[in-house]
Amino acid sequence: MRKNSGKWSVVASAHSTSLEKQHHLQGPIDDAFMARFIFVTPTGSAANSATSARIQEEMQHAIKEWRRQFRGEPLVKKDSEINDADIASANLVLWGDPGSNAFLAKIADKLPLKWTTDSVKLGTKSFPADKNYPAMIYPNPLNAHHYVVLNSGFTFREFDYLNNARQISKLPDWAMIDISTPADGRWPGKITDAGFFGEKWELK
Walk along the chain (204 residues) and give the pLDDT tens digit of each residue. Answer: 888 899 998 876 655 567 999 989 999 999 999 999 999 999 999 999 999 999 999 999 999 999 999 999 999 999 999 999 999 999 999 999 999 999 999 999 999 999 999 999 999 999 999 999 999 999 999 999 999 999 999 999 999 999 999 999 999 999 999 999 999 999 999 999 999 999 999 998
SS (HEC) of the chain: CEEECCEEECCCCCCCCCCCCECCECCCHHHHHHCCEEEEECCCCCCCHHHHHHHHHHHHHHHHHHHHHHCCCCEEEEHHHCCHHHHHHCEEEECCCCCCCHHHHHHHHHCCCEECCCEEEECCEEEECCCEEEEEEEEECCEEEEEEEECCCCCCCHHHHHCHHHCCCCCCCEEEEECCCCCCCCCCCEEEEEECCCCCCCCC
